[in-house]
Amino acid sequence: MDNIVFVGLGSNKNDRIAYIKKALFYISENELNTVEKISSLYESKPYGVKGQGNFYNAAAKIKTQLSIKDFFIFCKKIEKKVGRTKSIKWGAREIDIDILFYNDLIYSDNELTVPHAEFLLRDFAFVPVIEINPDLIHPVLNKKLSEIEFGNIEKNIIKKFTF
């Protein structure tokens, strides 16, 4: 069965674009996945821990045959393969892959919450997803993303460009 997953990708160390491209390549290299759409690239101020380099962020729509847990484990393996090293929570990182949505599933365990718990607080997460699918329904709010009011959150995006 094909599942539709939206992931957020971010990097703020070294060659940020190369890390994001490598992660997308490794995701698509697996025969159980198809990368269907990729957003523009967004440069954003760091979230959580200030005083580190700016991030590049993007979102991708992926068709996968993996279950949510298997896809989560797969993403963690991709992060390692791309070169992610240990850091503090919200610290600088080579690559971060977050599952933002998995079908219309509402899911939570001790490792993973979908929809992503802080999705609605992060413009660098929701803006790229809205770019590639404005009609996506947020399963908790039961509203199209393009209809959600995001006015009161911290603005982290600095600029948008293609890669």
| Percentage of residues in the chain having pLDDT higher than 70 | 98
- For residues 156 and 54, what is the distance between their CA atoms, to the nearest angstrom? 9
For residue 70, the tally of other CB atoms under 10 A from its CB is: 12
Say whether pLDDT at 147 is over 80: yes
Residue scoring higher pLDDT (50 or 14): 14
Residue scoring higher pLDDT (3 or 49): 3
Spacing of C-alpha 114 from chain mean position: 12
Encoded tokens for 38: 């990729």
Looking at domain 3-161, which CATH architecture does it have? 2-Layer Sandwich (3.30)
Asked whether 76 and 96 are in contact (CB, 8 A), the reply is: no
**pLDDT at position 21, please?**
97
- The SS3 call for residue 12 is coil
pLDDT digits (tens, 9 = 90+) for 38-57: 999 999 999 877 888 999 99
Q: What is the b/e burial string over 23-35, where b = at least 16 CB atoms within 10 angstroms of the residue's CB?
A: bbebbeeeeebeb
Which residue in 6, 116, 15, 113 sits closest to 58, CA to CA? Answer: 6
Report the phi/psi class of residue 142: left, alpha or beta, with left for phi > 0 and alpha for psi in -120 to 50: left
- For residues 9 and 146, what is the distance between their CA atoms, to the nearest angstrom? 20
**pLDDT at position 27, please?**
98
Residue where the block lists tokens 């005083």: 51
Asked whether 158 and 44 are in contact (CB, 8 A), the reply is: yes
Q: Sorting pLDDT into bands at 50, 70 and 90, what band is 159? A: very high
- Is residue 83 packed enough to be buried (19+ CB in 10 Å), middle (13-18) or exposed (0-12)? middle
pLDDT digits (tens, 9 = 90+) for 81-137: 999 887 767 677 899 999 999 999 999 999 999 999 999 999 999 999 999 999 999
Q: Domains of the chain: which residue ranges?
A: 3-161
